[in-house]
Amino acid sequence: MIHDLIEWENSTKNAMGRHVYSSRVRIGPPLLLVKDIDRELRFYGEYFDLQPIRKYQDHHVGGGFIYDLGFRHLLDSSGSIPLISLQHSPDAKIPSPRSAGLYHFAMLLPDRAELAAAYLALKRSGMRFDGFADHLVSESLYLHDPENNGIENYRDRPSEEWPRDTEGHLVMDALPLNLQSLLSETDKGESNNKIQFPKGGIIGHIHLRVTNLERSIRFA
């Protein structure tokens, strides 16, 4: 479940009257409906250094409390901007891999060194990864929380390095990630860093799982 999906900090329209997104357009925090709020808060606190910065009751859907989570070590500099939100619902169902809904939310990190530092810190904390991928335009780490909500941590390659075909379309793939190359980005200080995301991150994109692709495309 997602709320405040896009914050229109800046947008313009082209000659066709369509919005042209700028780098200042940000995706708001995804709202995850969770069954065991204490376990979820512990998970995001231990592995992501996220802590509740606001708690309030939802008076529209379900009536449960919502917890906005922000990076603990960046609260003074981030202006209490939440990364994600959790809504407690004792009746929530843990999503099945075959059900429609959230596939993953993706946290965009500032650069490759931050992704390498996050990998080391998460691994040192005992995190079990679901996989790793080189998408040609980005590099990604995949994992999930205790209620099977998918999480991607990634960094974008500079746009001038993105491959394109002969017609100018972006080319992407899902190749194995070269972890040895990734870890070459870290120095001794970074490799010993106990904070998973020293510079924080933002929501870069959200992927949804659907049961009927053609119908979903028509709806969109």
Q: What is the pLDDT confidence band of residue 20, given thresholds at 50, 70 and 90?
A: very low
Per-residue pLDDT at 106 exceeds 50: yes
- Domains within the chain, CATH numbers bracketed: 6-219 (3.10.180.10)
Sequence letter at residue 172: M
Per-residue pLDDT at 24 exceeds 80: no
Average the pLDDT over each of 71-80, 107-116, 189-198 and give the range with the smallest value.
Answer: 189-198
Residue-wise pLDDT tens digits, 113-143? 999 999 999 999 999 999 999 999 999 999 9
User: Which residue(s) pair with 164 in the sheet?
Assistant: 170
Per-residue pLDDT at 146 exceeds 80: yes
Number of Cβ atoms within 10 Å of the Cβ of 82: 23
Identify the top-confidence range among 138-142, 188-192, 212-216. Answer: 138-142
201: DSSP letter: -
Q: Which residues, including other chains, have CB under 8 Å from residue 167's CB and lie 6 or more apart?
A: none
Q: How far is CA 183 from the centre of its chain?
A: 21
Per-residue pLDDT at 210 exceeds 80: yes
User: Secondary structure of 108-158 in the HEC alphabet?
Assistant: ECCCHHHHHHHHHHHHHCCCCCCEEEECCCEEEEEEECCCCCEEEEEEECC
Q: What pLDDT does residue 158 have?
A: 94
Average pLDDT, the chain: 85
Residue-wise pLDDT tens digits, 25-45? 778 999 999 999 999 999 999
Q: Which residues, including other chains, have CB under 8 Å from residue 58's CB and lie 6 or more apart?
A: 64, 65, 66, 87
Average the pLDDT over each of 81-85, 92-96, 198-202 and give the range with the smallest value.
Answer: 92-96
Per-residue pLDDT at 189 exceeds 60: no
